[in-house]
A and B are shown apart, each in its own frame.
Chain A
Amino acid sequence: MRITVTDQNGTEHKIDALEGWSVMEIIRDHDLNIKAECGGCLSCATCHVYVDKDWLGKLHPPRDDETDMLEAEAFAIEENSRLSCQILFTEELNGLKLTLAPGTEKDA
């Protein structure tokens, strides 16, 4: 199973995805440029991604605390903004496409 991640420079990466991992963990495991500073505990918003519009409906909707964190600390929020640490990868998401949002880059 795979997902497609477009990084902050516009480069597309097709990466293997493991069921039961969060999408943030999958991206981090492939050494793409994601800071994900709080390791998935909803206190940083540095795992912000834009989910491809075709896939949006297949995800469970964000919980209130995810929306709160996005609004408080993420930048350039769009309708399809999500925190990738809150998306659990399952078989149904095979092929998922997303883009890393600005402000998620690791320190240079």
Chain B
Amino acid sequence: MTKQDVIKTDAVIIGAGPVGLFAVFELGLLDIKAHLIDILDRPGGQCTELYPEKPIYDIPALPVVTGQELTDRLMEQITPFKPEFHFSQMADSLAKTEDGLWRVGTDDDTLLEAPVVIIAAGGGSFTPKKPPIKGIEEFENTSVFYAVRKMEQFRDKNILISGGGDSALDWTLNLQPIAQSVTLVHRRDEFRAAPDSVNKMRTLANDNKITLHIAEPVALNGANGQLESVRLRSKTSGEFDVVCDTMLPFYGLTMKLGPVANFGLNLHENLIPVDTEKFETNTPGIFAIGDINHYPGKLKLILSGFHEAALMAQQAFRYIHPDKKLRFQYTTSSSSLQEKLGVK
């Protein structure tokens, strides 16, 4: 990696949930430009992943708003500040550079450098659920994959896909043309996926281009990380083995603290302790806001996260523009703020 490949910015925000998004706004008012990283492929965190259609009633001045609507409105509100998003990437390293900046790396080899890093990692990164099959770890990343990054990797493979949602169906359809064989396994003969994908999958099954089993994977066979077959259990025909060299389980996502645990920050029961003046961690220049932080009286509410973002931005400003004086202004009356917002 050469120096040019490193993206330099003012602030790196880990997590594009509601709190990470609003932080862009508060930072933007203070002329601080932000990049955001999220392992999900879209903004909104818990609001869009867990409850996009559910109403939220305790956002000040919005009597009712759904998780998706709140996210859409935040995205609209921060547009003037042109935040840059790095989606589908896990922030997995944090280190100090020789110039005293913070360098954040992702699992997709993006490198970002900034004077401040804001951890808005919420309940943790959304990661695939792992089926509790004995010994599955032994096969992970050699034969068992929870996500498809590069399709080519699966050319000419004998693939077993398990699950009954959109991911399972989409990858069945996408990989079937290039794989040696595809077997789809689901617990019942009903699928919670786009009707069009279900129809296409049924056609492939009827034409014997894929195999469909109504069963549950219960054991993996193989050695040295190389899968040889998967044992399935079905209600009607008992247990049987399906020969395959690759398995892709798709059982939805769950939140796990993930790599943030290895950033060398203080942790208190998987949360990051901060002060309540600046919402800074024990490491200067590293902030934690939203559901991920901990302090006496903390409430895991969107409202609290918004407040934390505003106070965090004040201190971030001092790091990023040390020679400038912080001026308290209202968006209502400050023409310079209105210019930044593009309304003037």
Question: Closest B-chain residue to A106, C-beta based?
Answer: B270
Contact of B188 among A71, A73, A75 (CB under 8 A): A71
**Any B CB within 8 A of the CB of A1:** no
- When the two chains form their complex, are residues A75 and B251 in contact, meaning their CB atoms are under 8 A apart? yes
In the complex, which range does the number of interface residues on chain B fall in? 20 to 34
Q: Which of B50, B216, B256 contacts A43 (CB 8 A)?
A: B50
A residues 75-108 with Cβ under 8 Å of B? 75-77, 102-103, 107
Q: How far apart are the CA atoms of A46 and B251 in the complex, in Å?
A: 12
**Which A residue's beta carbon lies closest to that of B164?**
A72
Does B318 sit at the interface, judged by CB under 8 A?
no
Would you call B163 an interface residue if the criterion is a C-beta within 8 Å of the partner chain's C-beta atoms?
yes
Contact yes or no, A38 B129, CB < 8 A: no
Please report the total number of A residues contacting B with Cβ < 8 Å: 18
Once bound together, how far apart are the Cα atoms of A67 and B294, in whole Å?
36
| CB atoms of B257 and A71 under 8 A apart | no
Question: CB of A19 within 8 A of chain B?
Answer: no
Find out whether the CB atom of A41 lies under 8 angstroms from the CB atom of B132: no
Report yes or no: B132 in contact with A44, Cβ–Cβ below 8 A: no
User: Known interface pairs A68-B192, A72-B165, A73-B252. Does A37 touch B129 (Cβ–Cβ under 8 Å)?
Assistant: no
B18 contacts chain A at the CB level, 8 A cutoff = no
On whether the beta carbons of A41 and B163 are closer than 8 Å, the reply is: no
Q: A35-B254, A46-B254, A107-B270 are in contact. Are A72 and B192 (CB under 8 A)?
A: yes
Q: Is A5 an interface residue (CB 8 A)?
A: no
- Interface: B54 (CB within 8 A): yes
Most buried by B among A73, A102, A103: A73
Q: Mark A25-38, 1 if CB is under 8 A from B, else 0.
A: 00000000001011
**A71 is contacted by which of B190, B254, B255, B270 (Cβ under 8 Å)?**
B190
C-alpha gap A45/B270 in the complex (Å): 21
Which of A43, A76, A102 has the most chain B CB within a 10 Å cutoff? Answer: A43
Residues of chain A contacted by B190 (CB below 8 angstroms): 71
Given known A-B contacts A68-B192, A75-B131, A43 and B187 have beta carbons under 8 A apart: no
Docked CA distance A35–B255 (Å): 10
Distance between A75 CB and nearest chain B CB, rounded to angstroms: 5
| B285: interface (CB < 8 Å) | no
Query: Quick one: given A46-B254, A72-B252, A103-B129, are A77 and B50 in contact (CB under 8 Å)?
Result: no
Tell yes or no: B51 within 8 A of A by CB.
yes
Chain B, residue nearest A68 (CB): B192
Within 8 A of A (CB), among B249-270: 251-252, 254-257, 270
B45 in contact (CB, < 8 A): no
Q: Which of B187-223 contact A (CB under 8 A)?
A: 187-188, 190, 192, 216
- Listed by A's residue number, 10 A-B pairs whose Cβ atoms lie within 8 Å are A37-B50, A71-B164, A72-B163, A72-B164, A72-B192, A73-B251, A75-B129, A75-B251, A76-B132, A107-B257
Q: Which residues on B are within 8 Å of A, measured CB to CB?
A: 50-51, 54, 123-124, 129, 131-132, 163-165, 186-188, 190, 192, 216, 251-252, 254-257, 270
Instruction: Please name 15 further chain A to chain B contacts, defined as beta carbons within 8 Å, in addition to the given A37-B50, A72-B252, sorted by A numbering.
Output: A35-B254, A37-B123, A38-B50, A41-B54, A43-B51, A44-B252, A68-B192, A71-B164, A71-B186, A71-B187, A71-B188, A72-B192, A73-B129, A75-B132, A75-B251
Contact surface of A with B, Cβ cutoff 8 Å: 35, 37-38, 41, 43-46, 68, 71-73, 75-77, 102-103, 107
